[in-house]
Amino acid sequence: MSVPPRLADRAALEAHRARARKGAGPESFLHVEALHEVQERLDEVNRSFTKPAIVTGFPEFWADAVPEAVVVPDTEVLDLREGAHDLVIHAMALHWADDPVGQLVQARRALKPDGLFLAVAFAGETLRELRVALAEAETRQRGGLSPRVAPMGDLRDMGGLLQRAGFALPVADLSPRAVEYATPLHLMRELRAMGETNALAQRERRFLRRDVLARAVEIYAREFPGDNGRVRATFQFAFLTGWAPAASQPQPLKPGSASHRLAEALGSVEFDRDMNPVTDPTPRRDGDG
């Protein structure tokens, strides 16, 4: 069986993260906003967690997200004991996972029944402006392309990960951020400070040529202007929520078990296949005409 190519060069990714940790990188406003939104969502759950765990590439920053949490790196095999936790948070790392389903499956196995899983990661249209500018610049200057920005999963795909991993009551949603920078170079410095620069396994190992960079900056400023001479950048957080299956959770009704018609609840009229009004108050069951 063929093995799919790896997304990330883990050695490069860890080097980028280590460089960021030496500065104030992980405390970038984007990490801060992700952390705050995670905490808000936990408050909305209205449940106390006594055995939390956090999976992240930035342990120093995320360690205080939940009191007394066990913090482990986002390695291929997570250092989590099966059934040991009532909460697992996967923090700002899933977009670099070679096997995101595997990450979620391991998180589910680490949960007690009815334990909560909550992930936040970049997704969707994140950095689409930078992607476009670099691709056009490299095509014009070199006549070809090399991977520069990590691919981002769309919301439907990421929601599907929860189902494939076996979570109950799965929910996926996007939280967008429209950000402006003085120049595209300021955006690139922000990404470097966050440890989010190019760590793709298939990337070109040489530095980006000066002429390509200059053209990319020019294209970016022209195509994606912000206010007052600035440039805009798109970021989108994907939030994934699911529960470890438990007998106490709400279960879907069996087909044909409804005792009331949806039309009654909506105050509307139901029609049959021939577009005749349905007057029989008995709910139709599977196999009825």
Residue 267, domain member (yes or no): no
CATH of the domain at 152: 3.40.50.150
In a domain, 261, yes or no: no
Report the alpha-carbon distance of residue 8 to residue 281 in Å, rounded.
Answer: 59
Specify the pairing of strand 52-56 against strand 70-72: parallel
- Cα separation, 241 vs 1, whole angstroms: 32
- Joined together, the tokens standing for residue 36 give 């705050």
Q: What is the pLDDT at residue 284? A: 47
Quick check: is 151 in a domain? yes
Cα–Cα dist 207/109, whole Å = 41
Q: What's the domain count of the chain?
A: 1
In a domain, 268, yes or no: no
Whether residue 40 lies inside any domain: the answer is yes
Q: pLDDT (tens digit, 9 = 90+) per residue, 164-204?
A: 999 999 999 999 999 999 999 999 999 999 999 999 999 88
Q: Give me the count of residues in the chain.
A: 289
pLDDT digits (tens, 9 = 90+) for 70-117: 999 999 999 999 999 999 999 999 999 999 999 999 999 999 999 999
Please spell the DSSP secondary structure of the chain, one letter per residue: -PPPPPSB-HHHHHHHHHHHHHTTGGGSHHHHHHHHHHHHHHHHHT---SSEEEEES-HHHHTTSSTT-EEE---SS----TT-EEEEEEES-GGG-S-HHHHHHHHHHHEEEEEEEEEEEE-TTTTHHHHHHHHHHHHHHHSS----S-----HHHHHHHHHHTT-EEEEEEEEEEEEEESSHHHHHHHHHHHT-S--BTTS-SSPPPHHHHHHHHHHHHHHSB-GGG-EEEEEEEEEEEEE---TTS--PPPTT--SS-HHHHHT---B-TTSPBP---SPP-TT--
- How far is it, in rounded angstroms, from Cα 124 to Cα 185? 22
Asked whether residue 2 is assigned to any structural domain, the reply reads no
Q: Which residue from 184, 233, 181 is spatially nearest to 213, judged by alpha carbons?
A: 184
Asked whether residue 269 is domain-assigned, the answer is: no
Whether the per-residue pLDDT at 259 is higher than 80: the answer is: no
Q: Which percentage of the chain shows pLDDT scores above 70?
A: 84
Min mean pLDDT across 46-50, 54-58, 264-268 is at: 264-268
pLDDT of residue 57: 95
Contact 38, 65 (CB under 8 A): yes
Domain range enclosing 28: 10-243
Residue 184 is assigned to a structural domain of this protein = yes
CA distances from 229 to 189, 191, 232, 246 (A): 18, 21, 10, 54
